[in-house]
């Protein structure tokens, strides 16, 4: 089961949806990452659940898309 396209349609980067008009659109990458088109934050999908936490997205913001792991690691607590 992958994340449904309906869900992906409505998901937005929680930072840019507030700061950019019609911002925060996400691109699904490697099937388990949602990359914000505005800020480059990357939100992992774990067990088919998108983790839309700003801290998580920021953690991967400077990581190149090509360098993202194929399986998102567990969050740092």
Residues lying near Zn ion in the complex (CB under 5 A): 13, 15-16, 36, 38-39, 41
Least distance to Zn ion from the beta carbon of 16, Å?
Answer: 3
Least distance to Zn ion from the beta carbon of 1, Å?
Answer: 26
Q: Which long-range contacts (CB under 8 A, 24 or more apart) does 54-59 make?
A: 54/14, 54/15, 57/13, 57/14, 57/15
Cβ nearer to Zn ion, comparing 32 with 35: 35
| Lookup result for tokens 């990452």 | 33
Q: Which residues are paired to 22 by β-bridges?
A: none
Least distance to Zn ion from the beta carbon of 37, Å?
Answer: 8
């Amino acid at each position: 089961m992958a994340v449904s396209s309906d869900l992906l349609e409505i998901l937005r980067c929680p930072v840019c949806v507030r700061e950019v008009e019609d911002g925060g659109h996400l691109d699904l990458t490697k099937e388990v990452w949602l990359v914000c088109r505005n800020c480059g934050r990357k939100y992992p999908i774990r067990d088919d659940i998108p983790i839309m936490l700003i801290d998580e997205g920021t953690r991967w913001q400077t990581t190149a898309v090509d360098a993202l792991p194929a399986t998102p690691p567990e969050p740092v607590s």
